[in-house]
Structure 1
């Protein structure tokens, strides 16, 4: 089936489905009332970590397996992926958490203080043990979304207008008007500039109350995130959450105490009860949703499954539901 296809929603999920279908020669239109990617999209505030092994510590195995496709797919679509792995650390009082993480992440390599200094000299001042996951990467979400949108325009994908042909709903949390089991999970993040800090890769600080991840954006700019609060509230960051993120960053290294606060971001991530995504057929519409905190990690796999379903009639191996009346 070469289309026409109409995709509703221009976040990471909608853009990924549009990219996959258009790369196969399909006629695609994407409709988002907010227009091009920007701070109205949940994925604008993402960390951009392509970390299937880290996520596999607490998520279902299928998320890890499908997430392994992400880095190659984003590169095939013109995205820039930094293949520098992930470093995981814990404060002295939380070393048991680091040991538990190591047991659940069999690909992780243990590092000594000397080895930490080879990867991230800044952190060797603070930590004597760490874990390194070499096969993980990260990308800049905003540059990736903006670049993909531009490439889709060049490829002939239409933006705006009326629905035409098969409709694919990728509206995220907004689709709760139809997907009654969809819930919002609020995530808050900070963007800071810290001239005295240098990191080359994402770092995760394990903590029993407010685990932190910090992702370098270049030029001494870092993204700190993210809280996970069970609410669909959007647009309002709390003082408590911001303080916890700042405290966690300071615990990672005191240099962040002097960081300049550039942005505070908050949005509601769409999630189903089991925190796994769905490709759900309801009537004549295909809904692709529920990426939770795995937007950039799982959007490629969902896009490929959706395209195979629509163009080849291939039923997705996981996460597919047919809710049409039988």
Structure 2
């Protein structure tokens, strides 16, 4: 069977991977010759954290996201399985209590337990939560790896927009608003710091009633900071959000105050009104979209369901028939 994939972000590459596993002949259409900042998934944190996301996300995110780490590992992507740490400043203790009530899969740590997991945080916090069954990856490395793996498998990548013809999977993200009218953009901003003065081995979430933060360690002393979520598709970088991210990082550890500011990025994530993904079929085109802030967490499962629907005729969980 021949299939076309439009878009080579995380959704498109996952769909192409599932198609190849089915023995399909696949062509991927994307205007860029390689993964890069044009794709929303380039700016992702890479946290495979279904339980933590369950603090605010719907039940399917928690349930389906639990298979993500294994899927990425099966593709040969380096996945770090060290869990997630959740912290608050002392004055925000109630935020940690609230989070603990909403997230069942956690262990409560005292200061000694926290120091045993992350020695560089010793003495800074007297209580923390450790969500052990979570993982993280480097999104940019994962995108590059999937693309190289697909090219090695014979998938053709064509640097043009592409048009629906035959069985087509439209994975263009927010650009698909020309056909998915209720798709909206949710702005997310991030920063990358480099520091030789602090070492973390797992993602850390710092809860705050106004300025929540997550810090994800990467190679070579790099740390990705994120957490902004703004109802807008305006992709300008703002001073306010950058200051909030950097101030929260400094509150987590003062060593971040001397870190090198390597990069500041922003993009708009595609989301439907319920913040859940959808598979929308119109004729021979299946739209794979609405991953919101769960791209690397849900793309593998959504891709599997989309390909299963096309190959086997099933109607999976996020299926929508559109006859307009």
Bin of the TM-score, shorter chain as denominator length: over 0.9
Shift of 1:12: 0.2
Deviations 1:214-262 (A, max 9, x none): 000022210000311111122x210000000000000101111111000
User: Which of these residues, 23, 38, 51, is aligned with residue 53 of structure 1?
Assistant: 51
In the alignment, structure 1 residue 156 sits paired with structure 2 residue 157: no
Residue aligned with 1:218, SS? coil
Matched, 1:286 2:286: yes
Counterpart in the other structure of 2:190: 189
Name the TM-score, length of structure 2 as normaliser: 0.97
Unpaired stretches in structure 2, ≥5 consecutive residues: none
1:37-75 Cα deviation digits (max 9, x unpaired): 111100001000000000011100111001011011111
The question of whether the paired residues in 2 share the 8 Å contact of 1:19 and 1:152 is answered with yes
- Tell me the distance in 1 between the aligned counterparts of 2:298 and 2:46: 11
What CA distance in whole angstroms lies between the structure 2 residues aligned with 1:218 and 1:8?
A: 31
Indicate if the aligned counterparts of 2:170 and 2:286 stay in contact, CA closer than 8 A.
yes
Give the aligned partner of residue 266 of structure 1.
266
Question: Given that residues 203 and 214 in structure 1 are in contact (C-alpha distance below 8 angstroms), is that contact kept between their aligned partners in structure 2?
Answer: yes
Match of 2:318 in 1: 319
In structure 2, what is the equivalent of residue 165 of structure 1? Answer: 166
The residue aligned with 1:214 is 215
Structure 2 residue aligned with 1:104: 102
Secondary structure of 2:125's partner? coil
CA RMSD after TM alignment:
1.0
SS in 2 for 1:39: coil
Q: Secondary structure at the match of 1:176?
A: helix
Q: How far apart are 1:213 and its partner, in Å?
A: 0.2
Which sections of structure 1, spanning at least 5 residues, go unmatched?
Answer: none
- What TM-score, normalized to structure 1? 0.97
1:33 positional shift: 1.1
The 3 A distance-change label for structure 1 pair 283 and 165 is: closer
> In 2, Cα distance between the equivalents of 1:198 and 1:91?
19
* Residues 166, 284 of structure 2: 8 Å contact kept: no
| One of 70, 73, 84 as aligned partner of 1:72 | 70
- Distance in 2 of aligned mates of 1:145 and 1:99: 36
Could you say which residue in structure 2 is the equivalent of 1:19?
Answer: 17
Provide the secondary structure at the position in 1 that maps to 2:63.
Answer: helix
Distance in 2 (alpha carbons) for counterparts of 1:275 and 1:101: 20
Q: Distance in 1 between matches of 2:323 and 2:75?
A: 33
Cα distance between partner residues in 2 of 1:19 and 1:284: 19
SS of equivalent to 2:93: helix
1:87-166 → structure 2 map (5 Å cutoff): 87-160=85-158, 164-166=165-167
Quote the residue 1:308 is aligned against: 308
Partner SS for 2:218? strand
Moved over 3 A (4+): 161-164
Q: Secondary structure at the match of 2:197?
A: coil
Q: How many residues align?
A: 321
Contact 1:10/1:35 (8 A) holds in 2: no
